[in-house]
């Protein structure tokens, strides 16, 4: 194991894509990488050749798997190529950090260097069994809720996601609409967002990639006036949509380990109205950055309180709790404990 000199920052290897599009895991990894570099660490990013990064880029493929004419369309194979490329060069680094769904756990022994694995989604039984069989690996969670069902798996750290606040413009005076932003699948609750908007009598703007569920169940409810669909939004368009909303509606039907869109909204000054599943109570500061409730009836009743929250207080609270600098600092502290 190589231990970094006290006056030399750690050298870290990340293997996940940092894209121009704002898919959640890639976006978090991009912000983490940028902030680690800003903190003085030597970072090598294993990603596609078209990635934009301040780190040293170790290109594995020309382009990502989610675009037309991708060199390799199988996303799992792409992840494995990144992982193997990083492990092959492990001797150059003090720490490796994988964001590839714990798929890199079997490579931990081969790396012969401290290998951190962050799980960005729900912990499945397969994840649990894999982690249990690789006790030499260092696993981090993105929320306390995420690992509650498997407390016997030791964690290196729990690190909440963070973003650079400068990427999300604060809007003091919003427009008169509610917002739903996310995947159009039943577990995200887009149908519940529509019901809530109708019950409180406010327009709803919905954004996200169209899916079969959207075309079958949601599109027939879009009237172009009260319920509007604005397509997929990224970058500045996402910032304008979130910042212009009176509130983000986050009506999950199934628990999730985090919910990046909630901190995107809060950094825009927009309060969150959510159902209290998964990590929602960890992310939303009740009565400060939003409200959550056990069911839709209670959430509807809370909407007047949601709309009265002070937007600048929401923004400042989110900056303190969910900045990319805070996230990078906590990961760097975790690296230092094992390098």
Residue whose token pair is 């760097």: 332
Is position 4 within any domain? no
Phi then psi for residue 173, to 5 deg, are -110, 100
Is 2 within the bounds of a domain?
A: no
Q: Are 10 and 41 in contact (CB under 8 A)?
A: yes
Predicted local confidence at residue 10, as pLDDT:
57
How many domains is the chain built from?
2
Considering the domain boundaries, does residue 1 fall inside one?
A: no
Do 297 and 214 share a structural domain?
yes
Nearest to 103 by CA among 74, 73, 76: 76
Decide: 113 and 2 in contact? Cβ < 8 Å: yes
Report the pLDDT value the prediction gives residue 286, as an integer from 0 to 100: 99
24 & 93 share domain: yes
Are 175 and 130 part of one and the same domain?
Answer: no
How far, in Å, CA of 260 to CA of 164, rounded?
13
| Residue 112 located in a structural domain | yes
Would you say 255 and 276 are in contact if contact means Cβ atoms under 8 Å apart? no
29 plus 147 within the same structural domain: yes
Q: How far apart are the first and last CA of the chain?
A: 7
Residues in the chain: 339
Q: Are residues 152 and 177 in the same domain?
A: no
Residue 3 maps to a domain: no
The answer to whether 35 touches 65, Cβ cutoff 8 Å, is no
d(CA 107, CA 221): 48
**Count H helices, E strands: the chain?**
12, 13
The verdict on 66 and 145 lying in the same domain is: yes
Q: Are residues 185 and 83 in the same domain?
A: no
Q: What is the pLDDT of residue 61?
A: 83
Query: What CATH number is attached to the domain comprising 132?
Result: 3.40.50.2000
Q: How far apart are CA 167 and CA 195, in angstroms?
A: 31
* Distant-in-sequence, close-in-space partners of 243: CB < 8 Å, separation ≥ 6: 168, 169, 170, 171, 174, 268, 269, 270
pLDDT of amino acid 2: 32
Alpha helices in the chain (DSSP H): 24-38, 75-88, 108-111, 125-132, 190-200, 212-213, 235-243, 260-267, 280-283, 296-307, 311-321, 324-338
* pLDDT attached to residue 94: 97
> Within a domain: residue 94?
yes
Decide: pTM greater than 0.85: yes
Residue 298: inside a domain, yes or no?
yes
Residues 184 and 298 in one domain: yes
Q: How far is CA 38 from the centre of its chain?
A: 20
Residues 291 and 327 in one domain: no
Residue 73 lies in domain: 11-163+323-338
Which residues does the chain have with pLDDT short of 70?
1-22, 64-73
Please indicate, yes or no, whether residues 66 and 28 belong to a single structural domain of this protein: yes
Question: pLDDT value at position 77?
Answer: 82
Fill in the DSSP letter of residue 112. Answer: -
For residue 37, being part of any structural domain is answered with yes
Whether residues 69 and 100 fall in one domain: yes
39 burial (CB, 10 Å; 0-12 / 13-18 / 19+) is middle
pLDDT of residue 3: 29
In this predicted structure, what is the pLDDT of residue 4?
36
Residues 229 and 136 in one domain: no
């Amino acid at each position: 194991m190589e231990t970094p000199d006290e006056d030399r920052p750690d050298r870290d290897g990340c293997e996940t894509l940092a894209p121009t599009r704002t898919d959640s895991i890639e976006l978090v990894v991009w912000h983490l990488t940028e902030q680690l570099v800003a903190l003085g660490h030597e970072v090598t990013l294993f990603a596609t050749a078209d990635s934009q990064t301040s780190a040293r880029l170790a290109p594995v493929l020309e382009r990502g798997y989610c675009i037309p004419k991708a060199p390799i369309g199988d996303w799992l194979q792409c992840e494995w190529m990144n992982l193997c490329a990083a492990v092959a060069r492990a001797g150059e680094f003090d720490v490796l950090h994988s964001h590839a769904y714990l798929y890199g756990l079997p490579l931990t022994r081969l790396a012969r260097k401290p290998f951190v694995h962050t799980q960005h989604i729900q912990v499945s039984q397969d994840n649990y069994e894999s982690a249990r069989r690789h006790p030499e690996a260092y696993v981090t969670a993105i929320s306390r809720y995420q690992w509650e069902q498997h407390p016997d798996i030791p964690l290196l750290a729990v690190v909440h996601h963070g973003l650079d606040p400068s990427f999300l413009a604060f809007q003091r005076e919003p427009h008169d609409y509610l917002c739903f932003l996310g995947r159009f699948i039943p577990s995200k609750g887009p149908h519940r967002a529509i019901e809530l908007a109708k019950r409180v009598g406010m327009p709803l703007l919905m954004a996200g990639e169209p899916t079969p569920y959207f075309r079958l169940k949601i599109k027939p409810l879009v009237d172009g006036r009260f319920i509007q669909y604005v397509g997929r939004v990224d970058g500045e368009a996402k910032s304008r949509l979130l910042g212009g909303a009176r509130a983000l509606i986050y009506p999950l039907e199934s628990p999730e380990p985090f919910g990046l869109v909630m901190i995107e909204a809060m950094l825009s000054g927009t309060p969150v109205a959510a159902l209290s599943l998964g990590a929602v109570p960890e992310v939303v500061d009740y009565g400060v950055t939003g409200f959550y409730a056990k069911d839709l009836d209670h959430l509807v009743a809370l909407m007047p309180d949601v709309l009265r929250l002070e937007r600048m207080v929401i923004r400042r609270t989110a900056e303190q709790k969910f900045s990319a600098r805070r996230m990078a600092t906590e990961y760097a502290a975790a690296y230092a404990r094992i390098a």
